[in-house]
Amino acid sequence: MRTFIRLSSIARTSVTLAVASSFGVQAAIVGAAAVVVSGASTTVAGAQAATPTGRITGRVIDAASGQGVSDAQVQIVGTTMGAQSGIDGRFNLLKVPAGTVTLQVRRIGYAAKTVTGLLLDANGVLEQDVTMSIATPQLQSVSVTATLERGSVNSALDNQRTGTGITNSVTAEQIAKSPDKDAAQAVQRVSGVTVQDGKYVFVRGLGERYTTTSLNGARVPSPEPDRKVVPLDMFPSALLQTITTSKTFTPDQSGDFSGAQVDITTREFPAKRLITFSSSVGYNSAVTSRDVISGARLGTEWLGFSGSGRAIPSIVDGLTSRTLSPALSTQYLSTIHNNWTPFNTTGIPNSSYGASIGGQTAILNHSFGYVGSLSYQYTQESRRNELRQLVVGGGTAQVRAYNSYEGTTGRESVLWGGIANFSTLVGSHTRVAFNNMYNRSADNEAHLDAGFDEGQTNDPTARISSVKRSWLDFVERTVRSDQLKIEHTFGSNQSLDFAVTSAGVTRGEPDRTDLFSRRDKPTDQYILALGDTKGARRFYSTLNESNITPSLNYSKSFGETAAWKLKIGSQLRSTDRDATSQAFYFSSNAATADELRQAPELIFPMLAARTNGVTLNVDPTAGTYTAHDQVFATYAMLQVPLASRLELVGGARLENWKLNLNTRQYTGDQFDSTYKNNDVLPSLALNVRLSERQNIRFSASRTLSRPEYRELSLLQDRGPIGDLDFVGNPKLKRALITNFDARWELYPNPGEILSVALFGKNFANPIERVQISTNGGNIYSFVNADGANNYGIELEARKNLGFIAIPFRSLSGFSNVTLMKSKITPGNTDISALTSADRPMVGQAPYVVNAGLSYSNLSGRASATVLYNVVGRTITTTGTKPTPDTYREARNGLDLSLQFPLLNVLSAKINARNLLDAPYKETAGGVTRISYRTGRTLSVGFGWTPGATP
């Protein structure tokens, strides 16, 4: 190319000199120069047009704070090509010549940085973030390779290192290398985190009431009627970018942060268009190809939508009279579906499917980022050899089993969801994002057991088997979130962000069926207990909750290097909930004992065919409640550098809370309550940066925990025969928590960490779940204790094993251990005296251990991960005299995940979960209360990425 340019220029120069005699030497020289430049420019332009190009995109990040740096100059070394970083430090370089590229980044107040060794493919897109450090006399400029820079920025550990408070994150990369199929399974890998019932998160041994859940920074309401916490099994792992657990409170977080906040971030759009498809099939040793019990599946229930046959008949919807006429009772029976008891079926394999697309596209010369994703999962579970019984006091220092049942539970579960996120830059200083998510889940559960119920017979010889009970339950849930977010920077030291989020949840329990039959002697046949409030029962409930949350935050940095930073803001969260429950039970004077020994599917059509054959009764304990909840908050916080390596972060949050709760029972009783509180919640943190990769953090704060709406409502929920009923307590008060934290952390290399953290919490009026013995039987409710203390230590380590020997550099070991202890001061006698005055808080585990070993090849496409988890013996329900406290026993878990490429665009993944199949067990006073096993699961999946384009 260069030879061609030189020869062409020489030829044209000789022609020009030949004419020089006619026009003068000066003119000839000028003309020659012009021709040379013209010819060379034309040729070079043609060469450039033919040179393949690509695109480089990324962020400029402050190494100390982890925040984006705007107005930084990003230049391709050796060219005049460059760009200026905009909102959140983002930059975009177009039409960069392919090949080896060097970036240089400059900004006043920061040391200039050069990144070498960038390899840009023709028509490709390269994502490269760049960290910048504050300029000092010892640090004027820095040069690093692209490999080192990419390993040290934009990762979970880097965010953890540069964050203001104590956080832990699980990233999409880590989730991809694990067998975790939803957020609940993924988050339990975090230090100090435990998951109850496969869905409810406990952090540092505190109950789920002390953990809040947000999606893309906005609060998610709970679809559970008696819990504040969001069941994290509703979020498929395929939709997740990161799960971040914040363990220290700062004023820009919600005041009911309490113990921790779990923020779920959905997937971000990639720099180039990427399309993926995935599917898997799974085997469960307790289910697949084995007999399992099941209930009817109606219509579209494979999609999580209840069939029309489960809808409550209009003739009883909202009914307030105590009984229905025989004619209307018969009409009701002819309307509902006639599935009353579980039936046997053959278990089928679990399966899942997913598809996603993401990238950037130009519309009218304006760049838009987008990501859309859908996932669907179907699973079956069987709890075999299931034991359920209550435990009561049996005399001085004695306890015994009460109402003991043995049987099995079968469950079909559907979970599907999708996201549609869009983002664009308006100019270089305004970013607009629109994030949308919808998830739906449904559980179709069947349960059958038999045993002895002491409330049903006085014959001591009937203890072998006097009662048989069953229930069929279909529960559907949805979670929806729509968020508009606008971020704008003013110059280099001010920013404003506005967000408005509309979120909603629904929960439907259409047509739950409860039955029990009894017999007086083991040789007798079971007789359906018609007339008992729990003998033949149909139950319907709905819950709808929506909230809207506008928020505004403003921040200003003082000084060129953002040394001082002020952040102020306000937020309004307005929530409305409407919950209704209706229960009906049947009685009959026309049925004979022999007829009642038949299957219920035969009994009820037979009674419906008779005049005055059956009567439908309304359970008066059910009803409805509505809640209107408003929390207005405003806050201010200031980051102050006390020295070059010392930073103080302080501020306070003011929250005004008002709740109007209205309860209506079908007995005609009404209860209206109003709750109000104004709380000032201060926070103070001191961060000491011992070196670029070593920190010490100290913090103190005040947070709170408010009772859930259902816990305050006096409605009573009846459990199955022989089980616990529930009633609310309108006297509950919000709890106040004083928090103390300290952590030392070292990040020796990218992807490695060693940390030790100490924490302590003091509770005033903590809310506890209690089991109460009454004349009418056992129930559970909630009370305020006087106080409690919780403290512990967290240890975390993640290390590449290459330091042992070179062959081990593809292996990484990681572990986190949390040791904790709590003690509660009961002091509450509103309902009954607590059994133990010296016990842990409900939900408190003495220890949590996570450990794992991971292998990854150089390309990262092949990996193997072994994960171990154990949670210590945990109190789940406190008893009241003479009922003992209930504990969930320690359970060891072992999981395995393998993934490897098959072709360039095809990969495979093998997951094995619950390899030890340890029993789930709850005990009280040394007597087993609940016990079952769920079986081992194995799945094989495939992922297909047909290709990527810029």
How sure is the predictor about 35, in pLDDT bands with cuts at 50, 70 and 90? very low
Say if residue 34's pLDDT is above 60: no
How much is the pLDDT for 881? 67
State how far the Cα of 547 lies from the Cα of 763, in Å rounded to an integer: 28
Please count the other Cβ atoms lying within 10 Å of the Cβ belonging to residue 395: 8
How much is the pLDDT for 795? 93
Q: pLDDT digit string (tens) for 74-98?
A: 988 888 888 888 777 778 888 888 8
State how far the Cα of 378 lies from the Cα of 759, in Å rounded to an integer: 40
| 392 closest CA partner among 928, 924, 943, 751 | 924
Beta strand 527-528 pairing with 811-825: unpaired
- What crossing angle do the helices spanning 25-50 and 2-18 adopt, rounded to 10°? 160
How much is the pLDDT for 122? 83
How much is the pLDDT for 392? 77
Classify burial at 364, counting beta carbons within 10 Å of its beta carbon; exposed 0-12, middle 13-18, buried 19 or more: exposed
Coarse DSSP helix, strand, coil percentages of the chain, rounded to the nearest 5 percent: 15, 55, 30
Q: pLDDT digit string (tens) for 799-839?
A: 989 999 888 988 989 898 989 998 888 765 554 445 566 67
Say if residue 486's pLDDT is above 80: yes
> Any idea which of 65-69, 635-639, 708-712 has the lowest mean pLDDT?
65-69
How much is the pLDDT for 309? 84
Residue 417 near residue 440, CB atoms below 8 Å = yes
Please count the other Cβ atoms lying within 10 Å of the Cβ belonging to residue 636: 15
Percent of the chain with pLDDT over 70: 83
Question: Which position has the higher pLDDT, 575 or 125?
Answer: 575
How much is the pLDDT for 351? 94
How sure is the predictor about 522, in pLDDT bands with cuts at 50, 70 and 90? confident
Q: pLDDT digit string (tens) for 159-169?
A: 677 777 777 77
How much is the pLDDT for 364? 75
Say if residue 472's pLDDT is above 60: yes
How much is the pLDDT for 681? 96
Cα 777-782-787 angle, rounded to 5 deg: 130
How much is the pLDDT for 48? 45
Question: Which position has the higher pLDDT, 880 or 536?
Answer: 536
| 272 closest CA partner among 510, 57, 465, 500 | 57
How sure is the predictor about 662, in pLDDT bands with cuts at 50, 70 and 90? very high
Length of the chain: 950
How much is the pLDDT for 674? 95
Say if residue 190's pLDDT is above 50: yes
Q: pLDDT digit string (tens) for 764-795?
A: 998 887 776 655 556 778 888 888 898 999 99
State how far the Cα of 128 lies from the Cα of 133, in Å rounded to an integer: 17
Residue 450 near residue 510, CB atoms below 8 Å = no
Residue 256 near residue 920, CB atoms below 8 Å = no
How much is the pLDDT for 26? 38
pTM beyond cutoff 0.95:
no
How much is the pLDDT for 560? 59
How much is the pLDDT for 396? 52
Q: pLDDT digit string (tens) for 241-253?
A: 788 888 888 999 8
DSSP string, 194-207: EEETTTEEEETT--
In one-letter notation, the amino acid at residue 215 is: L
| Residue located via tokens 């409900």 | 842
Largest CA distance in the chain: 135
How much is the pLDDT for 313? 87
Three-state secondary structure call for residue 39: helix
Please count the other Cβ atoms lying within 10 Å of the Cβ belonging to residue 905: 13
Q: Is the peptide bond before 846 cis (omega within 30 degrees of 0)?
A: no
State how far the Cα of 390 lies from the Cα of 303, in Å rounded to an integer: 36
How much is the pLDDT for 387? 93
| Dihedral sign from CA coordinates of 154, 157, 159, 161 | negative
How much is the pLDDT for 318? 67
Say if residue 727's pLDDT is above 50: yes
Say if residue 335's pLDDT is above 90: no
State how far the Cα of 111 lies from the Cα of 60, in Å rounded to an integer: 13
Say if residue 13's pLDDT is above 60: no
Q: pLDDT digit string (tens) for 577-602?
A: 999 988 888 888 888 889 999 999 99
| Range 101-111 average pLDDT | 84
Cα 897-900-906 angle, rounded to 5 deg: 125
Residue 536 near residue 600, CB atoms below 8 Å = yes
| 693 closest CA partner among 99, 162, 191, 185 | 162
Say if residue 491's pLDDT is above 70: yes
| Range 279-292 average pLDDT | 94
Q: Mean pLDDT of all residues in the chain?
A: 81
CA-to-CA dists, residue 326 to 317, 493, 539, 540, angstroms: 17, 76, 19, 21
Say if residue 207's pLDDT is above 80: no
| Range 129-152 average pLDDT | 64
How sure is the predictor about 43, in pLDDT bands with cuts at 50, 70 and 90? very low
| Range 64-77 average pLDDT | 78
Please count the other Cβ atoms lying within 10 Å of the Cβ belonging to residue 150: 21
Say if residue 552's pLDDT is above 60: yes
Name the β-bridge partners of 870: 849, 892
